[in-house]
Structure 1
């Protein structure tokens, strides 16, 4: 059977914890890899110094609009004690959202879709390439890569442009899914705030958790498609289709991996929002951004290893099917 990758790693099947452990080992113990990734992440870090305070200030403003006063809240509940229908927002809240929410959302969307993702792509290209070289070297028990070997193979124009095409597909699909999930979370928040019915609230949260699970599993496959573009030379819909093929049977592992980084990103933002960093360039914000960039490095190392493991499993499955077919044909 023809092997389509530049290198197939012969290793045992890895679970989510094993993949995370290997990724942390590569990120923490390889000094050359760490230095390269830190230097590569500097432009992203500088942009996040502006973007994160802006985003957190926007979230604080929206949350304050959606949070009613105690008098309005209890008055609203007393006027609709057990009515089984989704209530409409109070007039003043609706007016504030219409006046302040669209403008801020457009600014966030422009910053999120263009400069943030372009800077992230520049880091992903280097991280995935170096992670692949380092990981394959370790698994094949070869001597560690030298500084020259790490940067020996430059990025050609076709590779960069092809990966950019895949990345655009991924950003569009992931952003659309995230926007729908955020909008649903806002609706559920409003329902739980104004709809005093335990059963309805419970069903809202069950539905949200279910959709969040599907979203994280889908993002895991999309992240793998970016890795495929960088390492395999397949771009656009072909890379996404191949990633979905490799993800079949591995959805639960992909979900658990993405859940770790989703919790990492949310957990980093919550303290500043809760304690009121108020969008200033404080030590807390800078520390959060530093850990965010570190998590971004580990995430793409994880999905590089996850890609190799999924591909090995798929090749093994095809080889077993081919062996069974030969056994049946031979009688």
Structure 2
């Protein structure tokens, strides 16, 4: 997967892929804290989502008779939301805090290492220099001010992506419930169109957000400035960013589906461990790919400005 993904999205496949085995070893080692935390988080998330799925797909006769008795079935999502708030409030708060604080901090620490080393490896391969050794990777610490600035950008990204994801999940749940108990074709079409539209916006915006984190790490622009730079660099490259996010979104969702199907609830079940290992591998590939995507977009932006300057000079010279 690592080879094929980078081959598809890199500008110069033979030159830009970080084939350095030291890079792979070091990034795997830096992913170990995140791996260990996911061993706790993923089973908890699976149990929580399975409980919610039982609410969304009621099989109890009382629940079904209640739903059929509703005079206006589009109110069912609101009723289900009320039930979730009443029955799973503590779980929602717990999973929200775990996701937003320790998991995201571990994610950021991993991203810092992957993007920094991928950038250095990329630059060395472009200049045909020898790859970094493990000793060189360990020796070069991060600038504290850059870490704090990247954290600022990352907070923006997490807030925006979380709000978008919650909206997407809410619309998906609404679409599922409404179409399950309401057979109105118009409702079905509008729900599907809304879901696809929001999914497209979420993936496109996620590509911009991920590039803004890369910009903060590599160029020292933070917060809204990094996001503005990412939007500028992404101009004309939106489709490539969307494809990148679509691949990794499908990777994460596809890894979770088997565990829901086979009911992988055990903390140390083989399925969970394999899933988490593939998550961590996919995360390394994702941020290497976005580092390459950033360089490709930046080079295009530079070329575009040079062409515009050349055209302006040609017009001025008559």
Q: Tell me whether the two structures share a fold, i.e. TM-score over 0.5.
A: yes
Partner of 2:35: 45
* Aligned partners of 1:27 and 1:298 also within 8 Å: no
Shift of 1:77: 8.1
Partner of 1:9: none
Paired residues in the alignment total 314
More helix by share: 2
* Aligned partners of 1:60 and 1:273 also within 8 Å: yes
Partner of 2:192: 205
Shift of 1:264: 0.4
Q: Does 1:241 align with 2:232?
A: no
Shift of 1:261: 0.3
Partner of 2:54: 64
Secondary structure at the residue paired with 1:89?
A: helix
- The unaligned stretches of length 5 or more in structure 2 are none
* Aligned partners of 2:17 and 2:122 also within 8 Å: no
Partner of 1:7: none
Correspondence 1:1-331 to 2 at 5 A: 18-19=8-9, 29-69=19-59, 71=61, 86-89=73-76, 96-331=83-318
* Aligned partners of 1:16 and 1:253 also within 8 Å: no
Residues 90, 240 of structure 1: alpha-carbon distance in 2 compared, 3 angstrom cutoff: closer
Shift of 1:278: 2.4
Residues 241, 176 of structure 1: alpha-carbon distance in 2 compared, 3 angstrom cutoff: same
Secondary structure at the residue paired with 2:157?
A: helix
Shift of 1:89: 2.8
- The unaligned stretches of length 5 or more in structure 1 are 1-14
Q: Whole-Å Cα distance in 2 between the matches of residues 66 and 24 of structure 1?
A: 48
Shift of 1:49: 0.3
Shift of 1:183: 1.4
Q: Whole-Å Cα distance in 2 between the matches of residues 32 and 223 of structure 1?
A: 25
- Superposition RMSD in Å: 2.7
Output the TM-score relative to the length of structure 2.
0.90
Q: Whole-Å Cα distance in 2 between the matches of residues 26 and 319 of structure 1?
A: 23
* Aligned partners of 1:77 and 1:195 also within 8 Å: no
Output the TM-score relative to the length of structure 1.
0.87
Q: Whole-Å Cα distance in 1 between the matches of residues 146 and 64 of structure 2?
A: 59
Q: Whole-Å Cα distance in 1 between the matches of residues 144 and 188 of structure 2?
A: 52
